Structures are given as structure tokens and as C-alpha cells.
Amino acid sequence: MTDATTRKLSLFDATMLVMGGILGIGIFFTPPEIAREVTEPGAYLAMWGLGALAALSGAMTFAELSAAFPHTGGWYVFLREAFGARTSFLFAWVVLLVVSTGACALVARFFSAQVALLAGLGASGELAVAAGIVLLVTGIGLAGLKSGALFQNLCMLLKVAAVGTFIVFGLALFAEPAEAVVVAAADRTSDGLVDGMLGASLSVLFSYGGWQLISYIAPAVKDPERNLPRAIVMGVAGVAVIYLLVNLAYLRVLGIGGMAAQSDQPMANRMAELTLGADLGITFVTAAMAISALGFLVATLITTPGIYVAMAREGLFLRAFGWLHPRTGAPVVALVTQCALVFVYLGWSAYDAAHVDTLTGAVVFAEWIFHGLAGLALIVLARRLGPSRPFRSLWFPLFPATYAALAAAIVVGNLVVTRPQVTMLGVGVLAVGWCVHLAWKPAPR
């Protein structure tokens, strides 16, 4: 991934990968969870604004780090440069063994469930579709990053068209705005504004997460010192605008009370029925969610193996994982192993999906520790790089400091206030990783 011949991704490709990693299924499911926590329309929109601020702060941080260190592994490399091998190993441990692979298994199952609704498949058919789509995306990755990027571009454009339909029909064509119905007491999940904002924070940030994926394959981008910052910032800004508009559409059509209402029918389905009609609406939203899930799988599965490659080249993983196919530049062993790990989670989820979901949620909390460290890494490394670094964000160190502070608030808040049992599971995963690193004997280079 470092040879000049592999730099085939344009600025458009890179921007679409950034947007594709962020704009997934979260925007269809997290709004009602947030509405139950933050029950006033103004505060609800403010939470999405804070999410945009956190994402923009993270984007500026990653833009500056990616321009300074345009190496395979991205985030992993930034942490190693600032804090050493153990910190970067723990990050990779969390992301590769649970966050990426576990999340992809759950999203693949979700994709297959939408396909099953459209095609009338049974439970065994769903699992086969989930396994098949993971194999397909892995095969696309084996054909090279450019092939994966082209497929991702198509998925991203379809996702924008789907969300754009909600926006147009909700804001411009829907004739009767919802009445100002407050959130019912039975639907509320928090006792006050502060508790509600803390409870909603992970849901908002889950919907905004993913801008970091492009950093894992930085050398594959043309002119990375220039195009990586542009792609990251433009991608995050584009998704923030889309999220603001679609949430305004949700509020106009359903109202905050309608969004938060407990129902057998998901909120996105109710939105589609009201704006597009019963039959067309359900088919549309089902297809839109399937495409969104597929786009997330492509963006995640083709970029994350860059961490395997970086680890292998530094002796923290088996050396074979650093091998790239001479023609396609694909990390073959890394892609195949990642596929196998996703299959393990798929098999587990077939019997106990709840625990897979709990484990994945727990390490998403732990992942935000490394978000905070990324902000601190830029502040630490800026002294070494000096004022001549390739890209400097405005008002430095405002953005990395804001990013680190928001991440710290999320970590402390969720550890102490909101979900201590689940978050302690994330701490346990980190502790196991610490022990593995202590026992690891670096592979010969």
C-alpha cells in the first residue's frame, strides 16, 4: 500500500469513502433513541449539532495527522508515533477483534434481514445472504482498492438519493406538519437534560463515526498530503448537512413525540409510509436500509485491513499479513482473515445475537478512549513536526483539544453515569489486550 503505483484513489473516491463510512444505518435507527433521551426539539437538534462539532473536530485532527503521516494503518500509526507500541496495539486489538469484525457481522445480518423482507427468505436464507455479502465484499477488496472504491461510490450515491428522498418529501412536499406533541412519559429514558445528553451521546456519535477509515489506506490516495485532509473535511461536512436536513424532515413529519413513540413499526417505516405511501414507502425504506448497510460493509471491510498490514510490518503481527498482491496491491492474508473473523461473529450471532451486540457496544465505548488519544497525539506530535507540517487546521490546537475533551467527557460519562456494566466489559477487553501485548514476542522482520 505504499508503492506509488497503488495510489489510484482520486479525491472523489476518498471523499465518498469518508462519507460512506459515516452515512450508514444509524440515521434510520438512532433518532428515536435520541428523542427519548432528549425530549425537546431544540435540544434534540442541538445534540446533532454537538455531534457535528465532535465529528468536525475529529475530522480536522485526522486531516492534519493523515497529511503528516500518510502511511498504511492511519490511526494506528498516529498512536504509535505519539504514545508507543502498546497503545497502538491496544487500539488495533479493540478495532480488529471486535469493533470492525463484530460490527460488520451485525450489519451483514441486518442487510440480509432487509433482503429477506424484499425476497421472502427464511432464517437459514438470511444467514446465507449475510455470509454471501461478506464474501462478495471481500472478493471486491481482493480485486484492489480501486474496485472497492468504485463499488462504494455507487453505494454512496444510492444512499444519498435515498436520504435525499426523505428530505425532499419531508420538508418540501409533505403537506401537513406534525402537531407539537411532547414525548410521552412512558417513552422517556432519562430524568433530566444532562443525563439525557450523556445517554444520547454515544448514539449521536455512532451515527457520525467512520471518518477515520480513509486514514487506514492513506498511501492508496493520490497526493495524500493534499487530498486526505480535503476528503476528510469535505466528507464530514457533507454528512453533517445531510443529517441536519433529514432530522428536520423527521421532526416536521413525525414531531418529537412521534419520533420517540414506542411502536412495533420502526420510526423510519412510519416516516416512509407518511411521505411515500404504505406500499411504496415500506419497499423504499427497506431497500434504502439494505443499501446503507452494504455501503458500510464495503467502506469498513476494504479499509480496515490496513491496520493488519501496519502491525505486521512492525513485528506486532504475523509477517504474512503485511504481504500485498503484486498486481492488485490487496492485503490478501489480512482480507481473508478478517472475513473469517466476521464469519465467527456471524455464527455466534445466529445463536446469541444479543451478546454480540452487547460486546460490540461495549468496545465502541472503549474505542472513544482512542479518539481522545488521537486528539492528544496531534498536540504531542505538532511539536516534533513544527510549523511546516503539510496541513494545519485553523486555530490550532482548538480542534484536537476539543476532540480530546469531548471524547473524555463521553468516556467518563458512560463509565460513571449511563451504562457501567456494559462499559466495564469494554474495559475488560482492553485488559485482555494488555496481557496479550505483554506476552507477545515480535515476529522477525
Domains and CATH numbers, the chain: 4-439 (1.20.1740.10)
- Please say whether the beta carbons of 321 and 308 come within 8 A: yes
Q: Alpha-carbon torsion 305, 310, 316, 322, what sign?
A: positive
**Residues 265-274: pLDDT tens digits?**
888 888 888 8
Of 211, 218, 213, 216, give the one whose Cα is nearest residue 232: 211
The kind and range of the H/E element at 299 are: helix 278-303
Cis amide bond preceding 266, omega within 30: no
**Residues 66-116: pLDDT tens digits?**
999 999 999 999 999 999 989 999 999 888 888 888 889 889 999 999 999
Residue 4, pLDDT score: 40
How many angstroms from the chain centroid is the CA of residue 330? 22
| Gap between the Cα atoms of 44 and 46, Å rounded | 5
Residue 9: helix, strand or coil by DSSP?
strand
Residue 2, pLDDT score: 44
| Ranges under pLDDT 50 in the chain | 1-6, 444-445
Residue 420, pLDDT score: 62
**Residues 310-347: pLDDT tens digits?**
988 888 888 889 889 888 889 999 999 999 999 998 88
Q: Which grid coordinates are listed for 139? A: 472478493
By percentage, how much of the chain surpasses pLDDT 90? Answer: 35
Residue 404, pLDDT score: 93
**Residues 370-392: pLDDT tens digits?**
999 999 999 999 988 877 788 88
| Gap between the Cα atoms of 220 and 229, Å rounded | 14
